[in-house]
Structure 1
Amino acid sequence: MFNIGGAELLVILVVALLVLGPNKLPQAARQVGSFLGEFRRIADGFQQELKSAMDDPVGATPAKAPREKPKSPGGPVDQTEVIDATATDQDDEAGTADTADEA
């Protein structure tokens, strides 16, 4: 977890024994152990929360089904009629513009 080797751990224990003394060392070790246990519980809870959030779909509400299918037109659309109607509308607009210029 902390990437500490055996020799490094031995040096830390010797320094702790010299600083705290033999009477307070067991109590300090218990406190460090309880702290590490609490830290692990918090970290595990955090990981579980992240995993459950990743597993849930985006937008926790279920998707609504479409009310109705889109209706298709009554029959096939004749493209020539649409093109003729558009051309007639453009001719009418051009004709009105010409008559407005003449007046």
Structure 2
Amino acid sequence: MFDVGFQELILVAIVALVVIGPERLPRAARVAGKWVGHARRTLSNVKHEIDRELKAEELKKVLDEQARSYPLDTLLDDPAPPTTRRADPSPPSQTPRS
């Protein structure tokens, strides 16, 4: 991403040692590490939220396409008339007993 080589890292470490001093350098490194970790977590959360929103947007598009393909009115209209069913079936024919 930044294309930083080993020589550049050594140069930054030497400058930090001279500017900050050997007593405060470990604490400054810890603080810098915490900030970098916080920035990475925040960036990861933002990426996750964006992915989730994109998936929700994609789902909305699919649902809209299906709604256009199969309108609710046409699905609710029943083209075939309902079949008539007898409420009370006729009793079976009885044979005389001997």
**The two structures share one fold, judged by TM-score above 0.5:** yes
SS at match of 1:67: helix
SS at match of 2:60: coil
TM-score by length of 2: 0.60
| Letter of the structure 2 residue corresponding to residue 58 of structure 1 | K
How many residues matched? Answer: 71
Identity, % of aligned pairs? Answer: 30
Query: Paired residue for 1:24?
Result: 24
SS at match of 1:23: coil
Query: Paired residue for 1:15?
Result: 15
Question: Which portions of structure 1, spanning 4 or more consecutive aligned residues, are displaced by more than 3 angstroms?
Answer: 61-65, 68-72
Q: How does 1:1-103 map to 2 (within 5 A)?
A: 1-56=1-56, 57-58=59-60, 66-68=72-74
Q: Deviations over 1:37-91 (max 9, x none)?
A: 00000000000011111111237x887661345799xxxxxxxxxxxxxxxxxxx
| Structure with bigger gyration radius | 1
Between structures 1 and 2, the one with greater helix share: 1
Structure 2 unmatched runs, 5+: 80-98
In the alignment, the residues of structure 1 paired with residue 74 and residue 4 of structure 2 have an alpha-carbon distance, to the nearest angstrom, of 65
TM-score by length of 1: 0.58
Structure 1 unmatched runs, 5+: 73-103
